[in-house]
Chain A
């Protein structure tokens, strides 16, 4: 084994001598080799990172699209709530509309969409957006007195913050 190795080394030496490769050239090739190895490893790493990122991006895009669709759906859902509210005030039978609303609420529940609690809660900028303040000394500072537009959460993410009016004590 060691003899074989030696032989190869001798051969190589001969070869190098013949072709007059200088140390400078060897160093240059070594440098190039290191550089190429680095680039190759980076390309591999880039690829693996890309694979991971692509996966995340796909799920992000899907949830972005779904959320947009759900937001549009929520507008219609709210229109139905308004319709029911308005018609029942006029003493019109709304049982059909109530059934539709229930079906819509089932879809929301299946997609883990929940309305954000607002009226009576203490204002939280992570969930609510304050549009204005009203003076009311009977309530704790920052209590939500009116919900101007409903907000929704999907899992832990805010789909749409609720827009609210918040109380403050009289000075």
Chain B
């Protein structure tokens, strides 16, 4: 088993780690639980007066009580000779980082259940050799062999899968965190990333935006009620939490409200805070902060000697880039929409995990890349309805089977038509091939059991076997390529399925109701003419026969015509059978329940009807149980 290597985003304010699982990066949750920063945790280290080391959220929580022994943003000092002091003892920046890495190692071990000895760690693109070496040393101190140091923007690009692109490109990575902005421009060719320029602002971030929103809400309340909430810590904290929630909501809706009942009290009684916030208002409040990002983008472009139109891809990193105004600002400035699909807060850790996976061999060689079936595979059943056997996106190799039955009395052969596609009617899908299962002993419809098995091997070769469970006789077909279609064709079929969903549903319903009607006619006729011939009052018998005739007359028409006639017949039959059971002596309870059970079993096993090979038209076939 290849050794697991984790990917670490060792950030200035927050850190996170991820690991490849089943070929996909997964974030490692912090042991103390998730915080506002998601599964990431604050890069804060502290020591209490008893000499206990505290890392992450708890360290952050105690910071104001113990500021002289709490260390933040040690990353800014990496590679320098600065020393930090905790409880009178000196620590190098790499030792502080090592405490954070140790916590990550513990969390990762708890999460994966494996011992973790190796890691890929990310650093800012502007880190020099000294700073990179210091980061590597921090890993060593923490008991981690740092197998690779990669740039944060490169990691983010990896998370978005940009390295897989064949053509050369120029990528702009816009990383706006809680307190810093980093803009990096990279050139990528043949999977190799090269930094062209970096720029940024160390005093700009999401924290400023949150403060602007909170202050606005407090101001509004002051205007409305003449009360200043900023002097009441309890009220201020509630406003901060409410504003944060509203900010997040406004990324998906246009308008929301900060609603804080009983926020204050004066002589006239309790005061409620109700402040409406629109997306436009938020944009107005944080607009000037967002605009402060502009010089960094311009500087990065200038240093790389590029114009915005030279940029091929834009990657966003950091929580604040989730805000629509930030996204719009970047796309307006660069003239290109940013990549999407990965949470910008997790992108760097994910990318580090992808790099770790490549090094461990998890991503390419060691893992067998399993294919999936792009379209649903099934067979044709009565009335041209497709019955799915293997649903699309099923990982192969796989095998599945279903049991079918005949559609007519004394039917001795069935045709298995193998179809591929997403639409419910066979005619709208592609037929991959068909074969016959013959020599089925003559039996009433619904009695023979024909098991149809689909087996796809790892190479995508499909074997379909139909077996008569009664005689054991079978027939089969091998379909070499289930993906006869190009990717474009597959996409078109999937789109068609979505576009025609409503229409297809109607078509299928029409066939279903017809099948149900035919089946009901068949059973009722059998009931009236054979099973209960002497037990039904003559008058009722005539009524039923008439109702059957009426239903038969409309069978070739629309579902709308068939439905009422079918219902009428059902009601009549129900009346008769209810009457019969009333008059009959009650059967032993056990027997009754036994019968019910076997009935249920049958309907469960025999899902549908294999299409009949005989030449008579559908309308003449009589079926049973199709309503199941």
Cβ–Cβ contact B368 & A43, under 8 A: yes
Interface segment out of the listed B56-64, B327-335, B402-410, B414-422: B56-64
Would you give the shortest CB distance from A105 to chain B, in whole angstroms? Answer: 18
Question: Quick check: A148 and B1 within 8 Å, CB to CB?
Answer: no
A130 and B64 contacting across the interface, CB-CB below 8 Å = yes
C-alpha spacing A126/B61, complex, angstroms: 8
CA A109 to CA B92, docked complex, whole Å: 47
State whether A163 touches B237 (Cβ < 8 A): yes
Mark contacts of A38-80 with chain B using CB atoms, 8 A cut-off: 1 yes-contact digit, 0 otherwise. Answer: 0100110110001001000000100010000000000000010
Q: Which of A79, A125, A129 contacts B261 (CB 8 A)?
A: A79
Could you tell me which residues of chain B, from 193 to 244, have a CB within 8 Å of some CB in chain A?
A: 233-234, 237-238, 241
* Interface residue? B596 (CB, 8 A): no
Set of chain B residues within 8 Å of A142, measured between Cβ atoms: 65
Q: Which residues of B sit under 8 angstroms from A129, Cβ to Cβ?
A: 60-61
Nearest chain B CB to A134 CB, angstrom units? 11
Q: How far is the CA of A161 from the CA of B61 in the complex (A)?
A: 9
Interface size class of B (residues with CB under 8 A): 20 to 34
Name the B residues within 8 Å of A85 (CB-CB): 262
Contacts of A149 in B (CB 8 A): 234, 237-238, 241
The answer on a CB contact under 8 Å between B233 and A128 is no
A-B pair count, CB < 8 Å, reads 72
Is A126 a contact partner of B58 (Cβ separation < 8 A)? yes
Alpha-carbon distance between A157 and B29 when the two chains are bound, in angstroms: 14
Partner of B62, one of A42, A89, A123: A123
A87 to B58, CA, bound (A): 37
Please indicate the chain B residues that have their CB under 8 angstroms from the CB of A104 in the complex: none
Residues of chain A within 8 A (CB-CB) of B46 are 125
Q: Are B237 and A125 in contact (CB under 8 A)?
A: no
Q: Is the CB–CB distance between B233 and A79 below 8 Å?
A: no
Bound together, the chains give a CA A45 to CA B2 distance in angstroms of: 13
Q: Is the CB of B32 within 8 A of A158?
A: yes
CB < 8 Å neighbour of B61 from A45, A82, A86, A130 = A130
Residues of chain A at interface, number, CB under 8 A: 37
* A46 in contact with B54 (CB, 8 Å): no
Closest Cβ of chain B to A91, distance in Å, is: 11
| B124 CB → nearest A CB, Å | 29
B270 at the interface (CB under 8 A from A): yes
Q: Do B58 and A64 touch across chains, with their CB atoms under 8 A apart?
A: no
> Is A133 interfacial (CB 8 A cutoff)?
yes
Q: Is B33 an interface residue, CB under 8 A from the partner?
A: yes
Within residues 76 to 133 of chain A, which ones have a CB less than 8 A from any CB in chain B?
79, 82-83, 85-87, 89-90, 123, 125-126, 128-133
CA A6 – CA B68 in complex, angstroms? Answer: 83
A125 near B64: Cβ-Cβ < 8 Å: no
In Å, the complex CA distance between A125 and B63 comes to 9
Q: Give the distance to chain B from A52, nearest Cβ to Cβ, in Å.
A: 9
Contacting pair B234 A79 (CB below 8 A): no
Contact B262 A79 (CB under 8 A): yes
- Chain A residues closer than 8 Å to B233, beta-carbon distance: 131-132, 146, 148, 165
Asked if residues A53 and B237 are in contact (CB atoms below 8 Å), the reply is no
- Please encode chain B, from 261 to 294, with 1 for each CB lying within 8 Å of some chain A CB and 0 for all others: 1100100011000000000000000000000000
Most buried by B among A87, A148, A166: A148
Residues from chain A with a CB closer than 8 A to the CB of B34 are 64
B22 part of interface (Cβ distance < 8 Å): yes
New contact pairs (8) apart from A128-B61, A157-B33, CB-CB < 8 Å? A82-B262, A86-B269, A129-B60, A130-B63, A146-B234, A158-B32, A158-B33, A168-B65
